[in-house]
Each structure stands twice: as structure tokens, then as C-alpha cells.
Structure 1
Amino acid sequence: MKVKVQKQERERVLTLLIMIVFCVIVLLLPVCGSVPLAGWVQSPGHPRGYDPDSSLTWKECAPTGHKITLTLIHLDLEESLECEDDSLKVFADDELLFNLCGRKSMKELQASINPFLHSFPGGCLSVSFLADYSNPERHTGFRGFYAIQDFDECKDPDNECTQLCNNYIGGYRCFCRPGYILDPDKHTCQVSCNEDRKGSREGVLISPGWPEPYPENAMCSYTLAVEEGLQFELTFTGVFDVEMKENGQCTDSLTIKPLSGDARTFCGRDLPPFFLTRSQHVEIIFRTDHQGANRGFSLSYRVREMNCAGPVTPTSSLISQHSDSKYPTGHKVKVKCDNGYVLKLKESAEVEYETTCQKNGEWSPVIPCEPVDCGSPELPELVELSEKDPPTTYLKQISFKCKSQYYQLDKTGNFICNAEGNWVSESGQTLTEDLPKCEPVCGMNTDVSFGGRVFGGKPASLGQIPWQLFHKSSPRGGASLISDYWALTAAHVVDGYEETTMNWLGGLIDGQDTNAVTMETEKIIIHPNYKRVGKGKPNNFDNDIALIKMSARVTLGPNIRPVCLPKKTDEPVAEGTISGFGGVKGGKMSRHLLYGLVQTYPLEMCVSGGLPVTHNMFCAGGSSVDSCKGDSGSPLFFPSLGYGSPDKPYRLTGIVSWGPSDCGNESFKGYYTKVQNYLDWIKETIEKN
């Protein structure tokens, strides 16, 4: 009995000590027990022991600025693996802190459990006790003391007080050292260094603490202002030392912000240059961060009369008797646009106007000078700009190209917009004087295999001889396309048909091809020196050449392309290729386009059969290869088929004219009109028609 009394006495003493400690430490209210800020929580039946299937749930929350703690002074529960049978679970803000069972002494609880039984500020603690269905021996349960305590926010590194912190029951307050004021955010201490110097005409501005290092978290604003017509002159003196990062960015900064114009920001150790603000009102802002030991700045200011600087606008100059580069208020000058520029918002192409320097240091009126615009050029057919919607103002460049790959410009297609608003070429000529044209690419064909030896010839592939034209009906004959409008043939083929319309076929190799392109003639022009005695029956074959103009532009493509004319300087051709839909062995007309390689000979080596031979002809033939009836007007071209290239295009050397009736007889050669002798007539005739 004596032992039991001593045990109860010890518990009462321990409880009293805990209450005293709580009241001394917490001091939440003037009278400690006037509100339920502390109390006990224990298992059912404690200390006699808890029954099977007994349970307890408890939860308390702390107000803002406080936390709730729990001190366990007794723990005696049935021991089990992971406390599966009986358990005491303690939670802080719904997070499990401990799952307890078994016996622990007060010393063990104080050392390993109680220091962690507390909530976050303004949080909650909760307890869940649960006993299972059996209790082999009696266990007294648990008992704990809870208390709501003030939380010391000043010990929290996240409270954001930049200088000093004062904790009070339920909260905290930031305050500053002498010389600083608390920012409206209630956490940041700033230097009070704002100065309004309106009306002051001269003076010195220095950073806080100068010449000692300036304080942290400074936000200083200095205002300078005088009457209209004056401006401030700023001069930095002595040391300039404002913190800057290694990459050149400003950590701290000094910003000079005039009423008009751009603000300028300085940092580092280079002394800023003297400058005029060009403003009667200037704000100087000095900002520092929370650390550093830099010395700051010192600058002097004074006022000067406002003036205006030139030029008034870019791309212009001033016309004035005033020799200085600064102009006093009230001074008038003329503004003249630079060469290639005109006044904006003016209907005419004016280039100058008068303006006056105002008291605020600005010119009025101000009319910008804008570049002359040459406009988008009118383009001839088949020509287009290399760039879509290019700029068209002064000194901008444009270039031309042909819309189709089967054409090429006849001259350089680069032009520049000049000061007069004209597009001029590299040679200095205007666009109207030097307008490029798209001319057909001549003498090129589709790459195909070649070889062989239109009598005795080989069938041509489509696109292999794309300049070959064919007149299928009477008179049967051929022609050569030399542009997208004109073709060349023998005069005797079209003799007598000048006033009629002839239909020529192109883009074919089969005379019965229904997909062939039909070209209708507009004009047939026979050489004026060609002598005739009747339709298709010439007195002789001298000047046997004629031009055909089509009624519409021929659409060029891989299967219809012109052949090049020869050059006046070309040497005599040793060999070339002939083509046509003329006679073959047996006297029949060929359905297919045939070609063959022939060799040219001096006229004295050829037999004429009694007809006159002139220097406007040449003869050619080959081994079992010859032009024949029905080939008249068809081409003889060089180099030999298969050997043409962009650097060596195919050129029309001759036109099938006349020859013996016995085609392919090696004793006789065919005669061809020498195209080289008619280049001037061809050019002049095309230009006139």
C-alpha cells in the first residue's frame, strides 16, 4: 500500500512540474488556465487498464502563429509485430509520425519520441488508439500532455526579414536599423534617400554613405527640374564604383531618365562621360541589391540653355548660316532631304522645308524624309521578278528571270532604283531603254542515245530533233523552228502559198500522231531574190529560203524547241545531221521522222545535173544516206546528233533544197541552202514583221 501511494505522489509531482513549465514557457495569455490551451489525453480506463476492442480518437489544432505539442509520460500497450494487435498512432497534419506499442519508460519517451510530437505553425495533432479483441494480460495504456505554444517565427530562415525580427505571441514583425525605412512589403529595409531638387540650378548628387560603401537594398530617386528652355549638364567626378557582374550585366545600377528621350543606365568602374540631358526634367534612380561593398558615385549638375541639334531627321541635312552644330531656341533652318529621298506626306516630290527650334529642344515642324520609290516595273511577256514583291525604294535592287526553263534573258537582268525614281541597269540605262527580253533557248534537245547512219536514215526519238516541223499535205515538206514565232524552210516548198494559211505540225516523230501540235501560219515571206516560174517550179534554186511566221506564240517544251542559227564566223562544216519525213527506198514517203549523218563537199565535187550552182548552196551526202523528195525545207544541222551541249548547241547549217531524182546514189549529192549567207535578211525581216 505504501508503494502505491508513493507512485501516485510521483505522478502528481510530475504533472505539476509539466504545468508549471508550460505556463512559464508559453505565456499565451495573462492567466495561464483561462482558456483550454493545454490538457491531457489518455487511453480508456487508464491507469487501471484498457479493455479489449477499446479505441480512442483525439485531435487538436493550433491557431495562426502557434503550434501544438504532445508529451507522452506513460506508454504500456500489448507488444506485437509492427503493432498489429494494439497500437497508438500519432499524426501531425494528417502525416503519421509514430506507430507505437509495448512499454517505454519516461526517459525513453523523452529521448526518442516526445521531441518530434508537434505540428507546423497553425497545424493539428491527432491520436488514434485501437486495441484488438484479446488482452492476455493487463496493460495500463498511455497518457500524454498536450499544449498550444507560440511559434518563434524569427527563428524561421524563411521569414524574409532583411535586417531585424521581433517575435510576439501569434506572429512576428520586421524592423530596421537606424538610417533605414521598412518597405511597404513589411520585410525589406531600404535606405531613405529620395531627394526632390526641383528649381535647383546646380549642385552635387552622391550615393548614400559616400565616400564609404553604399548600403544594401537602396532605392534612391533624385528629381531635377527647371523651367522650360533650360537643360541639365551632368558631369561625373572622382570614383565611380557600382557593382556589376562578370558578364557585364548590372547588379546595382544608376539610371538617368530625362523627361523625353531614352534613359541611360550605368554600372561598373568606368567613369561615365559628360553629357547634356536635353531635358528640363531629369530623374536619377539608384538601385542596389542585398549585398556588396562598392563605393557608389558622385556627379555634379548645372543648367544650360536649351538648344536643338541637327540633323532634324535621318537622311536629311540642315541649310543654315549658323556655324555651330547646336542651334538656339527660335532659330529657323531649312531641312533638305538627302539625294534619293523626298518629304513624307507631301503630294509632290518636294525635298526641303523650314523648321524652328522650340524651347523644349525639339524642332517643329518635323517631316521625315523617305526614300524615293521606283515602284513595281511593268514586265514584258514571259518575264518575271526573281523575288516576289521585292522592296522598290532608293538603292534597292531587283532582278528578272524567265518564267519558263525553255527561255533565257537576252541580257543581264539586274536593276537598281536610282535617286530619280528610275530603275537603271548596271550599264546606267533605264529599264525602258534596256528592258531584258526572254528569248527561247535554242539548239538543245532531250538527251537520248545517238549513232547510226531521209533516205537510209534511222528513226528519231521524241524530243531528239524538237525543231523539226512537218507539212503533211501537199506540198509535203519540212521546216525548222528558229524561235517561238518563226520557222525557216525552202522557198520552193511555200512558193505560191503566201496568201493561204498553211498548217504545220510539231512535237511529233510519227506522221500519223493525233497528238501533234498544229501551228497555223500568219505570214510566209520568200526571199526577194528567189526566182520562180510557177508554183513550186523555180527557174533555179538560188536563194531557196523562206520565213514562216506563226499566228500565235508556239508553246515550247521538251518536244518543241528552236534550233540556233549559225554564226557569221562559223567555219565550214565537215559533217552534220539531216532529218525529215521524205522518201525512203522504194519511193514511198516515210511515216516516221528519220535522220542520218552526212558529209559536206566542195561544190566542184558535186554533180548538178545541169542546174546552176551558186555560193548560196553547198552539197552533202553520205553512204546510203541522202535527203529525198518530201524532205525539202527540212534541216541540216551540226554538230552531229548526240554531240550537242549548252556550250555547243545545235545550229541550222542548211535547208534541204534540191538534188537528183535518184535518192541515195553515191555519184550525186543533195544540195542545201547555205543559211549562213542569209543571217542579215532573217534578222531584218523578223524585226520588220
Structure 2
Amino acid sequence: MWKHFARFCLLLAVSCIAKGELYEKTGVFGYFSSRDFPAPYPNNLNDNWVISVNPGYKVVLYFTSFDLEDSFVLVPCSQDFVEILDGPYGNNTMTRLCGNYDLYPDDAPKLYTQKFKSSTNLMTVRMVSDYSNDLPDTPSPVGFRAHYYAEDRNECVELREEAAASDEPESVGMCEHFCNNYPGGYYCSCRQGYVLHDDGYSCIGDCSNMILSSRTGVIESPGYPGKYSRKTDCNWKIQTEAGKNMELTFDPSFHVEEYQPGMCPYDYLQINDSSGSRGLFCGSTPPDDGAPIVSTTNWFKLHFHTDYLTELTGFRINYKINEIVCPLPDPPVHGRLAHVTEPSQTSPDFIPFGGIIRFECNSGFRLLGSPKVACLKDGSLSDHIPICEVF
């Protein structure tokens, strides 16, 4: 019955194999051999070696001895063979080997010098033999001896290659600025002015909780005039003492992602002051068509939000702090300005916020109205100018 089974296998040019052994190999290096090596290996083998090294490393395998039955059929290595798989059993086959390099160099590995490398920390080596390894009057092949060791993966190079081959706009895990490889792993870092996002690879603008108090200054989206960073939330607060306000002037090159005209669900700039939100701004036109935006009191809050996808050039804002002043009124007819708070240092014809003007009438006239007015925070006087009438 065995002869009929063997003839059936030979006619179909297939391997009729039995259940084999499973071996686990670990550590930073090691070696293993086919069953019974250096004596001839048995028939009907299906042995597997699973090699695992530490995460962050790859497996490097080479042979110091290799002697298997070669295939004399149309399909190379279809009878006895060693199969190397990238990962656990069932993963992609890296190569299938058989024969002897001295006699059949096309199918056998070069001893010592030819290295097989996994892409992860796992590799599987499988050896299969058919029924005919001990044919009479034929030297029986003796199998193989293999050595392996752990080699550090250069994740930075791997990620760059993966990103270059990908059609996705964002390569998950790819360091946005700098990739730093170390034995067993890698980490991302960012250029000056950016910090690493919680995802571990995105670089976001270092612009949270920024307090600005100088009389003049500039606010820019991260990276301006280059593309702003994704996944970013910037917060700026411009604040000064009471009696002053501030003015924002946008450069014309405003460019923030827009969904539809007037709709800003993805990226946006929000401006707030004591009167509430001035709105969410996006698109390619500066807020208020580029006209200066003046605060109603002594502070502005700006919030810039970007999502995970589109990156544009953003914006540049020049700001300045203005002194709130009221124009000096003309004295009433038949009267005079009896007292004026020290005029504004920058505008002599104005008085600063909180300043007081007192009025008096000439002799023979009496004052109708408030004898005193104050400069209010909106730049107006607290009351009408009084008049002087004759007794």
C-alpha cells in the first residue's frame, strides 16, 4: 500500500508530508539544525522553527550548511524545501530553498554570506521533505544548519520609505519633523517653536496660553509664511491696563482652510473681546476685508484651531495698543475751561480716558448743564457741553 501512495505522490509532483514539530527560538542570537543533522534527515517532515527577538529588532538568518534534495520538475523546490516566512506561520513567504549551492546554485543559499532579514521581530523557518530522501544507490542529503541574530531596525528609514510609497496624506507613525533611532526603537522630536503632540509623531505650534502685553507686536500662525501645523490649538491674549484698547491689522495673505464661504468647521481663527465673539474666520480673505479690528476694552483673545488634515499658510497679524482719548471741546460761549486733566502725551488736543474737564462762565453769566464731564472708555464725553447764559 505504501508503494501505491508513494507512486501517487510522485505522479502528482506533490509532497505527501506528515505532521511535524514546532520549535521556538529566542534570544539575541542562536542556531538550529534540521532533524538528525549532520546525518540524513527523515522523510515526510514538516518542521517549523519560530524565531522571535525583542520588539524593535529584526531577525537575520544565514546558513552554514545546506544540502537538500533538489527538484527536477517544472516547479522549483516542490519536493524537499526550506521556506522562510516574514513573521509567524501563514505570513508572506520570503523565499523557498532547496538543493546544494555547489550543484544547484539557483535554488540553494550562499553559505555564510547570504542574509535573510525579517521586517519585524518574528521569522518562521519551515522544512518539508517528501517520501524519497532515502532512495537506493543515491546519496541522501543531510539537511541544514542555520544561525540567527537580532539586528536593530532603523524605523526612521522604514517610515520614510513607507510614507513615500503611500497615497495617504498622512502617514501614521511618521515623524513630522525629526526621527531619532535608538537600539530597539525610535522617537520623534520637533523644531524650535513646536512641541510634540500626544500622538507621538505630529509637531504642533508651541502657542498655547500666550500672554502679550507689549505696546506693539506680531501674531503669526505656526510656521508662517510656511504651512501651519495640524492638530494645533493656539491661544493668544493681548492685555493692557484700563483706559487703552488695541487694534488688529491683518496682512493680506490670509489663508485658512474653508469648507464653504462663511463656514469654518475644520480650521479657523476666532477673535473675542468684551463684546463677545467677533466670529470664526477662515478662507482667503482677511477678517473684515482687512480693515483694522479695534477692541471695545483693554483685551483681545484669539484662538486658532486646526484639524488633522489640511495645512495652509495661515496669517500674520500686527497689533498695537492705543490710548483711549477724548477730543478737547471748545469752551462754551462766554465761558472757559477752568480745569483740564493733563492732555494726552501723544495727542495734545485730546484728554486720556478718565480725564476730567471743568467749565466756568464769565462774570455776569451763569452755567446751565453739568459743570464737569469725563472721558469715557469709548472715547466720548460723559455729558453735553454746558452753556453760559446771562443773569
Identify the TM-score tier after normalising by the shorter chain. 0.5 to 0.7
Pairing 1:273–2:291 present: yes
Q: 1:163: Cα distance to partner? A: 0.8
Q: Pairwise CA RMSD of aligned residues?
A: 4.3
| Equivalent-residue separation in structure 1 for 2:191 and 2:270 (angstroms) | 27
Q: 1:234: Cα distance to partner? A: 3.0
Query: Which structure has greater strand proportion?
Result: 2
- Offset from partner CA, 1:53-101 (integer Å, 9 cap, x none): 4553321112211121323452422536565643433332221516746
CA contact (8 A) 1:257 1:263 kept: yes
| Aligned 1:488-499 pairs, distance under 5 A | none
| Aligned 1:260-299 pairs, distance under 5 A | 261-267=276-282, 268-270=284-286, 271-278=289-296, 281-287=299-305, 291-293=311-313, 296-299=316-319
| Equivalent-residue separation in structure 1 for 2:197 and 2:190 (angstroms) | 10
Q: 1:195: Cα distance to partner? A: 6.3
| Equivalent-residue separation in structure 2 for 1:257 and 1:187 (angstroms) | 32
Query: 2:220 is matched with which residue: 201, 207, 229?
Result: 207
Query: 1:130 is matched with which residue: 121, 128, 131?
Result: 128
Q: 1:296: Cα distance to partner? A: 2.6
**Cα distance, 1:99–1:184 mapped onto 2, change above 3 Å:** closer
- Calculate the TM-score normalised by the size of structure 2: 0.54
CA contact (8 A) 1:163 1:189 kept: yes
Q: 1:39: Cα distance to partner? A: 2.3
Equivalence for 2:71 = 79
What letter is aligned with 1:40?
Answer: Y
Q: 1:197: Cα distance to partner? A: 3.7
Equivalence for 1:119 = 118
Query: 1:65 is matched with which residue: 56, 70, 87?
Result: 56
| Aligned 1:1-150 pairs, distance under 5 A | 36-53=27-44, 56-72=47-63, 74-79=66-71, 85-91=79-85, 92-94=87-89, 95-97=91-93, 100=96, 102-105=98-101, 108=106, 109=108, 117-122=116-121, 124-134=122-132, 135-136=134-135, 137=138, 138-150=140-152
**Cα distance, 1:184–1:36 mapped onto 2, change above 3 Å:** closer
CA contact (8 A) 1:253 1:286 kept: yes
| Equivalent-residue separation in structure 2 for 1:170 and 1:131 (angstroms) | 37
Equivalence for 1:254 = 269
- Offset from partner CA, 1:298-334 (integer Å, 9 cap, x none): 23344759xxxxxxxxxxxxxxxxxxxxxx9xxxxxx
**Unaligned stretches of 5+ residues in structure 1:** 1-34, 306-327, 329-358, 362-689
- Calculate the TM-score normalised by the size of structure 1: 0.33
**Cα distance, 1:246–1:126 mapped onto 2, change above 3 Å:** closer
**Cα distance, 1:194–1:300 mapped onto 2, change above 3 Å:** farther
Q: 1:245: Cα distance to partner? A: 5.5
Equivalence for 2:367 = none
Secondary structure of residue in 2 paired with 1:125: strand
| Equivalent-residue separation in structure 1 for 2:183 and 2:35 (angstroms) | 35
Q: Highest relative contact order (Cα 8 Å, sep 6+), 1 or 2?
A: 2
Q: 1:184: Cα distance to partner? A: 4.0
| Equivalent-residue separation in structure 2 for 1:246 and 1:265 (angstroms) | 12
CA contact (8 A) 1:78 1:101 kept: no
| Equivalent-residue separation in structure 1 for 2:236 and 2:316 (angstroms) | 15
| Equivalent-residue separation in structure 2 for 1:252 and 1:190 (angstroms) | 14
| Equivalent-residue separation in structure 2 for 1:243 and 1:115 (angstroms) | 54
**Cα distance, 1:146–1:295 mapped onto 2, change above 3 Å:** same
CA contact (8 A) 2:246 2:298 kept: no
| Equivalent-residue separation in structure 2 for 1:49 and 1:230 (angstroms) | 98
For these two proteins, the number of residue pairs brought into alignment is 270
| Equivalent-residue separation in structure 2 for 1:161 and 1:60 (angstroms) | 29
**Cα distance, 1:278–1:116 mapped onto 2, change above 3 Å:** farther
Secondary structure of residue in 2 paired with 1:297: strand
Pairing 1:182–2:196 present: yes
| Equivalent-residue separation in structure 1 for 2:59 and 2:303 (angstroms) | 48
Pairing 1:160–2:156 present: no
| Equivalent-residue separation in structure 2 for 1:80 and 1:235 (angstroms) | 83
Secondary structure of residue in 2 paired with 1:262: strand
What letter is aligned with 1:68?
Answer: V
Secondary structure of residue in 2 paired with 1:222: strand
Q: 1:115: Cα distance to partner? A: 8.0
Q: 1:284: Cα distance to partner? A: 1.1
| Equivalent-residue separation in structure 1 for 2:119 and 2:72 (angstroms) | 31
**Cα distance, 1:98–1:167 mapped onto 2, change above 3 Å:** closer
What letter is aligned with 2:318?
Answer: S
**Cα distance, 1:225–1:233 mapped onto 2, change above 3 Å:** closer
CA contact (8 A) 1:231 1:279 kept: yes
Secondary structure of residue in 2 paired with 1:40: strand
**Unaligned stretches of 5+ residues in structure 2:** 1-25, 161-170, 326-352, 354-375, 379-391
Q: 1:162: Cα distance to partner? A: 0.8
| Equivalent-residue separation in structure 1 for 2:180 and 2:201 (angstroms) | 12
Q: Which moved more, 1:270-279 or 1:87-96?
A: 270-279
| Aligned 1:406-555 pairs, distance under 5 A | none
Query: 1:236 is matched with which residue: 220, 229, 249?
Result: 249
- Offset from partner CA, 1:502-549 (integer Å, 9 cap, x none): xxxxxxxxxxxxxxxxxxxxxxxxxxxxxxxxxxxxxxxxxxxxxxxx
